């Protein structure tokens, strides 16, 4: 079954708001992770990404009714144990964040954890859409379109000052404008390749294994 999109200019194999929801989940996951860097340690954010593994397993079980062996559950439990141990250590770790109050530090930890959980959900929903509906190309187009729209709106409301700093003449900044632009567009290019590779993987495999390969 197909559905018209953009006044019939395109036909898609799932309702447009399915793709919009998946794009919203992914954009908020990465937004929370990037915001977490302002408040908590790089180590905690990096290790917290491992929570995407049990998150993907849980959402796969709930949504797709897929079963797992005990060895899979033990692996997920090890990931959670690592997060707990890292959180305890993070309470006393300054890691160059003397400017952040303890409450802000904890808030950064929560952002990182929630972002990782949403990453697991995003991969599960993406797997469903890629394998059961429109395939990789349709997923990339729809997710990219709605993701860009959501991100632009969010930037306008919450990050406009940071955008001005990025594209403005910020004297005393660690790097000049040309280097900032190179880093900015390089990040976009590699993120696009990353998403393409993930969608290709989900077409033949599953979300939990994707996160295991990316994060372990």
Q: What is the pTM of this model?
A: 0.83
* Whole-number Cα distances in Å, 184 to 112, 129, 190: 22, 29, 10
Q: What is the mean pLDDT of the chain?
A: 83
Strand partners, 11: 4
- Tokens 């593994």 correspond to what residue? 53
**pLDDT single digits (tens) 192-206:** 899 999 999 999 888
Q: Residue 27's closest CA among 107, 103, 125, 110?
A: 125
Q: Tell me the per-residue pLDDT of 34-87, one tens digit each, with 9 for 90 and over.
A: 999 888 877 778 777 878 888 888 899 899 888 877 777 787 777 667 766 765
The pLDDT tens digits of the residues spanning 87-99 come to: 566 555 555 555 4
Q: Print burial letters for 33-55: b (CB count within 10 Å at least 16), e (below 16).
A: bebbbebbbeebbebbbbbbbbb
Distance, CA of 39 to CA of 99 (rounded, Å): 9
């Amino acid at each position: 079954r197909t559905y018209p999109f953009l006044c019939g200019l395109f036909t898609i194999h799932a309702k447009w708001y399915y793709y919009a929801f998946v794009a919203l989940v992914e954009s908020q996951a990465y937004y929370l992770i990037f915001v977490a860097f302002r408040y908590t340690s790089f180590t905690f954010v990096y290790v917290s990404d491992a929570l995407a593994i049990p998150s993907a397993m849980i959402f796969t079980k709930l949504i797709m009714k897929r079963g797992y062996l005990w060895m899979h559950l033990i692996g997920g439990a090890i990931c959670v144990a690592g997060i707990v141990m890292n959180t305890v250590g993070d309470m006393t770790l300054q890691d160059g964040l003397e400017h952040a109050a303890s409450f802000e530090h904890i808030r950064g930890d929560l952002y990182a954890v929630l972002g990782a959980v949403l990453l697991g959900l995003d991969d599960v929903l993406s797997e469903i859409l890629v394998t059961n509906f429109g395939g990789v190309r349709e997923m990339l187009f729809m997710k990219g379109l709605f993701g860009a729209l959501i991100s632009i709106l969010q930037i306008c409301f919450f990050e406009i000052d940071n955008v001005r700093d990025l594209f403005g003449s910020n004297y005393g900044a660690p790097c000049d404008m040309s280097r900032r632009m190179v880093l900015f567009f390089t990040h976009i290019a590699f993120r696009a390749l990353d998403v393409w590779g993930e969608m290709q993987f989900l077409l033949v495999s599953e979300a939990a294994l994707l996160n295991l390969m990316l994060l372990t």
